[in-house]
Structure 1
Amino acid sequence: MKIIKAISEQLIIKELAQAEFEQAYPLVHQLRQALPLTDFLSVTAQMQGYRAFVLMDSDKADKIVAYAGFAEQLNLYEGRHIFVYELVTDEVVRSQGYGKMLLSALTEEGKRLGCEMLVLTSGLQRVDAHRFYENNGLTKTSFVFRKEL
């Protein structure tokens, strides 16, 4: 694990190496409940540029309390941007500012990389998450449409 930012003596944001992703799986599973560990490890290893930041709390036995999976991307409509695939705080410690701290670290990383935007998608049913994103400076700009093949 590489330290990204020490927020306090108690709270540290670290970047996981691919070999360490399994440590974060219990938290990722809270968000992606249908995703087995083997698929999580296999798919993230294949994703172009996938990275993971975690927020660890030493008061909770160095437990990972928040997780962000993301990648730097480039496309025609967002330009160079950080795309956040997962942003999840442990359900037992939500609303304590952990997600905000991790989102701030992602914003700083995007700026460091020369990105113009931070982008994520969120399911329509996740009303509390939408409120969190809007309270932290993100705006709703589109819908995502899908079709099974």
Structure 2
Amino acid sequence: MKIIKAISEQLIIKELAQAEFEQAYPLVHQLRQDLPLTDFLSVTAQMQDYRVFVLTVADKIIAYAGFAEQLNLYEGRHIFVYELVTDVALRGQGYGKILLSALTEEGKRLGCEMLVLTSGLQRVDAHRFYEEKMKLMRTSFVFRKEL
């Protein structure tokens, strides 16, 4: 684990190496409940430029963000957040805000123009957090079809 930023003596943002992703799986599983550990490790190993920041308290992972720097025609260079989850027992204490702010700083450091994420329609509390606390704008819908 590489230290990104110390918020306090106990509260630290770290970047995980691929070999350390398994340590964060219990937290990721809170968000992606149908995702087995083997699939999590296999898919993240194949994702291009996938990175992970975690927020730890006394070396215990309490929040997780999986993201990548991307470039496309409609967002330009941006940080795309695939997963953002805080331990269910610790939500509402500002940990998600700390981690999302760290991703914003990382995006700026990389020269990105935007931070972008998607969120399932059922995640009303998450949407309120993104819009009210983090000042993200709802700008589009995502449409998909199984093939």
- Name the TM tier (shorter chain): over 0.9
C-alpha displacement of 1:25: 0.1
Distance 1:39 1:71 in 2: 19
TM-align CA RMSD: 0.6
Q: Deviations over 1:56-104 (max 9, x none)?
A: xxxxx52100000000000000000000000000000111100000000
What is the SS of the residue equivalent to 2:35?
coil
Distance 1:135 1:108 in 2: 19
In the comparison of the two structures, how many residue pairs are matched?
A: 143
Distance 1:135 1:32 in 2: 24
C-alpha displacement of 1:142: 0.3
Distance 1:130 1:93 in 2: 18
Is residue 107 of structure 2 the alignment partner of residue 118 of structure 1? no
Distance 1:135 1:96 in 2: 15
C-alpha displacement of 1:49: 0.2
Q: How does 1:4-43 map to 2 (within 5 A)?
A: 4-43=4-43
Point out where structure 1 has 5 or more consecutive residues left out of the alignment.
Answer: 56-60
Percent identity, aligned pairs only, is: 91
TM-score (norm 2): 0.96
Q: How does 1:21-100 map to 2 (within 5 A)?
A: 21-55=21-55, 61-100=58-97
C-alpha displacement of 1:17: 0.1
C-alpha displacement of 1:135: 1.8
Distance 1:69 1:38 in 2: 17
Point out where structure 2 has 5 or more consecutive residues left out of the alignment.
Answer: none
Distance 1:62 1:80 in 2: 32
Corresponding residue of 2:103:
106
Distance 1:8 1:139 in 2: 30
C-alpha displacement of 1:127: 0.3
Q: Deviations over 1:15-64 (max 9, x none)?
A: 00000000000000000000000000000000000000000xxxxx5210
Misfit runs of 4+, over 6 Å: none
TM-score (norm 1): 0.95
What is the SS of the residue equivalent to 2:4?
strand
